[in-house]
Amino acid sequence: MGISVNHISKSYKNVKALQDISFEVKKGELFGLIGPDGAGKTTLFRILTTLLFADEGNATVAGYDVVVEYKSIRNSVGYMPGKFSLYQDLTIEENLEFFATIFGTTIEENYDLIKDIYVQIEPFKDRRAGKLSGGMKQKLALCCALIHKPKVLFLDEPTTGVDPVSRKEFWEMLKRLQEKGITILVSTPYMDEAALCDRIALIQDGKILEIDTPEAIVEHFPKQIYNVSANNMYQLILSLNDYEHNHSVYPFGEFVHYTDSRTDFNPEELKTFLETKDLSNIHIDKTVATIEDTFMELAK
Amino acid sequence: MKRFIGFIKKEFYHIFRDKRSLFILFGMPIAQILLFGFAITNEINNVDIAILDHSKDTTTEEIINKIAASEYFSIKQIIEKESDIESIFKKGKVKAVLNFEKDFSKNLIKDNNATIQIITDATDPNTANTITNFVGSILQKYQKDLNKEITIVYQIIPESRMVYNPELKSVYMFVPGVMTIILMLVSAMMTSISITREKELGTMEILLVSPLKPFQVIIGKVFPYIFLSIINAVVIVVLSIFIFKMPVQGSLFLLGLESVLFIISSLALGILISTISASQQTAMMVSLMGLMLPVILLSGFIFPISSMPLPLQIISNIIPAKWFIIILKGIMLKGVGIQFIWKETLILLGMTVFFIALSVKKYKIRLE
Amino acid sequence: MNNNKVIQVEGLTKMFGDFTAVNAITFEVEKGEIFGFLGANGAGKTTAMKMLIGISKPTSGKANVAGFDVYSNAEDIKKNIGYMSQKFALYDDLTVRENITFFGGIYGLSRKRIKEKSNALIEELGLENVANKLVGALPLGWKQKLSFSVSLIHDPKIVFLDEPTGGVDPITRRQFWELIYKAANKGTTVFVTTHYMDEAEYCDRVSIMVNGKIEALDTPKKLKEQFKAENMNDVFLKLARG
- Does B271 share its domain with B203? yes
Judge whether C229 lies within some domain: yes
Q: Does A75 reach chain B within 8 Å, measured CB to CB?
A: yes
Domain containing residue C163: 32-52+81-240
Domains and CATH numbers, chain A: 3-219 (3.40.50.300), 225-299 (3.30.70)
Residues of A in contact with B14 (CB under 8 A): 87, 89-90
Closest CA to C235 of A239, C218, C143: C218
Average pLDDT of B67-76? Answer: 83
Average pLDDT of B215-225? Answer: 86
CATH of the domain at B89: 3.40.1710.10
Q: Do C174 and A232 touch (CB under 8 A)?
A: no
Q: B90-111: per-residue pLDDT in tens?
A: 887 788 888 888 888 888 777 7
pLDDT at B128 over 90: no
Q: Do A99 and B205 touch (CB under 8 A)?
A: no
- Does B113 share its domain with B212? no
Q: Do A104 and B211 touch (CB under 8 A)?
A: yes
Stated as kind and residue range, the H or E segment containing C164 is none
Average pLDDT of B126-138? Answer: 78
Judge whether B76 lies within some domain: yes
Residues of A in contact with B205 (CB under 8 A): 46, 49, 51, 79, 81, 85
The answer to whether A184 touches A111, Cβ cutoff 8 Å, is: no
- Does B55 share its domain with B141? yes
- Does B228 share its domain with B313? yes
* Number of domains within chain C: 1
Q: Does B150 reach chain A within 8 Å, measured CB to CB?
A: no
The length of chain C is 242
Query: How high is the pLDDT of residue C121?
Result: 92
Query: How high is the pLDDT of residue B171?
Result: 63
- Does B350 share its domain with B231? yes
The answer to whether C236 touches C227, Cβ cutoff 8 Å, is: no
Q: What are phi and psi of A225, to 5 degrees?
A: -100, 140
Judge whether B93 lies within some domain: yes
Q: How far, in Å, are A12, B336, B352, C156, C181 from residue C160 at the CA level?
A: 36, 73, 57, 10, 14
Chain C contact partners (≥3 CB pairs within 8 A)? A
DSSP letters spanning C44-81? SHHHHHHHHTTSS--SEEEEEETTEETTT-HHHHHHTE
Q: B33-49: per-residue pLDDT in tens?
A: 787 777 655 566 778 88
Query: How high is the pLDDT of residue A226?
Result: 95
Closest CA to B231 of B37, B11, B22, B38: B22
- Does B223 share its domain with B91? no
- Does B13 share its domain with B115? no
* C-alpha–C-alpha distance, residues A174 and A113, integer Å: 12
Domain containing residue B193: 2-40+169-362
What pTM was estimated for this model as a whole?
0.81
Stated as kind and residue range, the H or E segment containing A211 is strand A207-212
- The 3-state DSSP composition of chain A as helix, strand, coil percent (nearest 5) reads 40, 30, 35
Residues of B in contact with A94 (CB under 8 A): 10, 13
B155: CB partners within 8 A, 6+ apart? B147
Q: Does B19 reach chain A within 8 Å, measured CB to CB?
A: no
Judge whether B368 lies within some domain: no
Judge whether C105 lies within some domain: yes
Average pLDDT of B228-256? Answer: 85
Residues of B in contact with A107 (CB under 8 A): none
**Residue ranges in chain C assigned as alpha helix (H):** 45-52, 74-79, 96-106, 111-125, 140-151, 170-185, 197-200, 220-226, 232-240
CATH of the domain at C45: 3.40.50.300
Closest CA to A183 of A10, A5, A24: A24
Q: Does C53 reach chain A within 8 Å, measured CB to CB?
A: no
Q: Do A164 and C221 touch (CB under 8 A)?
A: no
* C-alpha–C-alpha distance, residues C68 and B123, integer Å: 61
Radius of gyration (Cα) for chain A, nearest Å?
23
- Does B75 share its domain with B211? no
Q: For an interface test with C, give the residue of A156, A165, A172, A239 to mutate (most C CBs within 10 A).
A: A165
CA nearest to A94 within chain B: B10
Judge whether B88 lies within some domain: yes
Q: State which amino acid sits at residue A217.
A: I
Q: Put the strands of the sheet holding A3-12 in their side by side order.
A: A15-25, A3-12, A56-61, A64-65
Q: Which member of A83, A89, A145 has the closest CB to residue B202?
A: A83
Residues of A in contact with B16 (CB under 8 A): none
Q: Do C168 and A292 touch (CB under 8 A)?
A: no
Q: Which member of C40, C170, C185 has the closest CB to residue A296?
A: C170
Chain A contact partners (≥3 CB pairs within 8 A)? B, C
Q: Which member of B3, B9, B366 has the closest CB to residue A51?
A: B366
Q: Does C221 reach chain A within 8 Å, measured CB to CB?
A: yes
Q: Which member of C40, C42, C181 has the closest CB to residue A237?
A: C181
DSSP character at residue B101: P
Q: A225-244: per-residue pLDDT in tens?
A: 999 999 999 999 999 999 99
* C-alpha–C-alpha distance, residues A9 and A19, integer Å: 5
Q: A159-215: per-residue pLDDT in tens?
A: 887 888 888 889 999 999 999 999 999 999 888 899 999 999 999 999 999 999 999
Judge whether C46 lies within some domain: yes
DSSP letters spanning B142-176? HHHHHHHHH---S---------SSTT--HHHHHHH
pLDDT at B152 over 70: no
Residue A161 C-alpha, separation from nearest chain C C-alpha, in angstroms? 8
Q: C176-203: per-residue pLDDT in tens?
A: 999 999 999 999 999 998 877 888 899 9
Q: Does A103 reach chain B within 8 Å, measured CB to CB?
A: yes
Q: C18-42: per-residue pLDDT in tens?
A: 999 999 999 999 999 999 999 877 7
Residues of A in contact with C177 (CB under 8 A): 251
Judge whether C26 lies within some domain: no
pLDDT at B154 over 50: no
The answer to whether chain C touches chain B by having 3 or more C-beta pairs less than 8 angstroms apart is: no
Query: How high is the pLDDT of residue A87?
Result: 93
Tell me whether 0.90 is exceeded by the ipTM: no
Q: Do C166 and A160 touch (CB under 8 A)?
A: yes
* Number of domains within chain B: 2
Residues 282-341 of B with CB under 8 A from A: none
- Does B209 share its domain with B325? yes
Residue C75 C-alpha, separation from nearest chain A C-alpha, in angstroms? 32
Judge whether B156 lies within some domain: no
Judge whether B164 lies within some domain: no
More confident call, B307 vs B199? B199
